[in-house]
Amino acid sequence: MKKWLTLIALLLNVLQAEYLSLESAYKQVLSQNDGLKSSQSALQKQEKLRSATKMLYLPQVSLDAAYIHFQEPIKTQFFDASGLSAVGPPLDALLPHLAKPVTLQDQNIIFGALNIVYPLFTGGKKYFANKLSQLALEDASLALKLKELSLFEDCAKLYYGVVLANQILETLEDANAGHLAHYQNALKLQEKGQIARLETLQAQVNYDKSNIEVQKARDNLDIAFMALNALLGNDSSAPLSLAQMIDIKQESLLEKVDYFVNKTLEVYPALQIMDNKIQATHELSRIEFASFLPDVGLFGSYIMNENKTLFEKAMPNWYVGIGARWSLLTPNGRIQKYQASKIASLEAQFATSQARKDLKTLCEKTYNEVLSYKTQYFSLQSSVELASENLKLRQSAFLQGMSTSTEVSDAQNALSLAIIERQSVAYQYVIALSRLFALSDELERFYGFFN
């Protein structure tokens, strides 16, 4: 009764679950994966930084204000009383006033200034900084694309991992049913006295071991479902209806390996990121060289004050000018930094060259794996047919008393192993093919191989 309830529950789950193709699963991953959202946020951040770098071409405008308290008022004496003593009596009354110091500025001064600074020449630092910012933005976009391709491989691996686990479970359940039928036949033959009890016990042992293998396969299927649901962002127990098998078509053909190698070297994001790194080292080298050149800029200011004192009234309201600075000796190690930037360029070039070689090797290896697994898959069909025919003969021979339980069990297990081996090869074919199309950025073609 319990077995029937479990079966009914499983059937209800299947009926409730909508069919989920790999393409739909991948789209769900793209919308739910937090790692991908992190890469998208990194791209948005870099877009803001790119906009910020463009602002380097604008002038710097600031509003400054200050309050200053002097030790004492600023005064000056315009006339020397001793020099005016010979003027005569008519001016004697004015002498004390003429000799009195005049206050130019009292102890407190408050003023504000609107300042503007606009660099005219910086050795190209602004231009090269903008090129670096553009490269960083491209890198963020490429990193996002690389993450999407990586998630496609993960999705294909887990999706078809569930399909494989389900196929293995079905195969072992069929084998289990075969072991049960053999055990029941052995019991009948023992009752008739046609075989010894030892043969029946051997059939029972094989059936019990088969039950254990079925339970292991069921647990593996549950784990595979949990892993896929985790990638999809679903609840771990959410029902899923997936492809029933991995159907490899004999007529599905690929271009020659050179096509995939050239396409991979042209479009694979990781390689483009490394190419950008080479370009970035060139821009950094130019920025380091700019530190040897002078900086030239315009500046100006509009001054606002209380306009009370003679000093404030005498001050101009605005001024403009042009200035230059050429650092002849600095403690920043300009020469060493420039040399290091040149070495960094060589480092990036060597790393990119090696990456191209490794990527070419990976593409060729993956291509050969695809062809090899496809050949193995169709070649193993004969092994399945042989194992199936051998099982029929052993079962028939056992009923006639010409074979043992061990031989029947071995034949049953051999059939299961042959089927599972072929299913596993099909899974390896899928994984290799998904990697090949991810390398060449042709994901849509992958779906056509199994639709």
Does residue 228 belong to any structural domain of this protein? yes
User: Residue 2: what pLDDT?
Assistant: 42
Angle at the Cα of 142 from the Cα atoms of 140 and 145, rounded to 5 degrees: 115
For the chain, what's the residue count? 451
pLDDT digits (tens, 9 = 90+) for 319-365: 899 999 998 888 888 999 999 999 999 999 999 999 999 999 999 99
| C-alpha span between 140 and 95 (Å, rounded) | 81
Predicted pLDDT at 3: 46
- Residue 152 included in any domain: yes
> Is position 365 within any domain?
yes
For residue 317, the model assigns a pLDDT of 85
State residue 398's pLDDT score. 85
Average pLDDT over residues 292-302: 94
pLDDT at 89: 59
DSSP codes of every residue in 156-187: HHHHHHHHHHHHHHHHHHHHHHHHHHHHHHHH
What is the spatial distance between Cα 281 and Cα 99, in angstroms, rounded to a whole number?
A: 71
Q: Looking at residue 119, what is its pLDDT?
A: 93
Decide if 354 is inside a domain: yes
Task: Write out pLDDT tens, residues 181-222.
Answer: 989 988 988 888 888 899 899 989 999 999 999 999 999 999
Beta bridge partners of 111: 66, 305
Q: Which of 11-15, 109-113, 372-376, 431-435 is predicted with the least confidence, judged by mean pLDDT?
A: 11-15
Query: Where would I find the H helices in 17-124?
Result: 22-32, 34-54, 95-98
Report d(CA 367, CA 66) in Å as an integer.
73
> Using an 8 Å Cβ cutoff, are 236 and 230 in contact?
yes
pLDDT of residue 17: 66
Give yes or no for residue 99 having a pLDDT over 80: no
Q: What is the pTM of this model?
A: 0.84
User: Is 310 within a domain?
Assistant: no
* Total domains in the fold of the chain: 1
**pLDDT at site 172:** 96
Q: Which residue has the higher pLDDT, 13 or 249?
A: 249
Instruction: Specify the CATH number for the domain of residue 277.
Output: 1.20.1600.10
Nearest-angstrom CA–CA distance, 102 and 367: 95
* Predicted pLDDT of residue 1: 46
- 170 in any annotated domain: yes
Its domain, for residue 387, covers 17-58+123-294+330-447
User: Is 51 a domain residue?
Assistant: yes
Q: Does 369 reside within a domain? A: yes
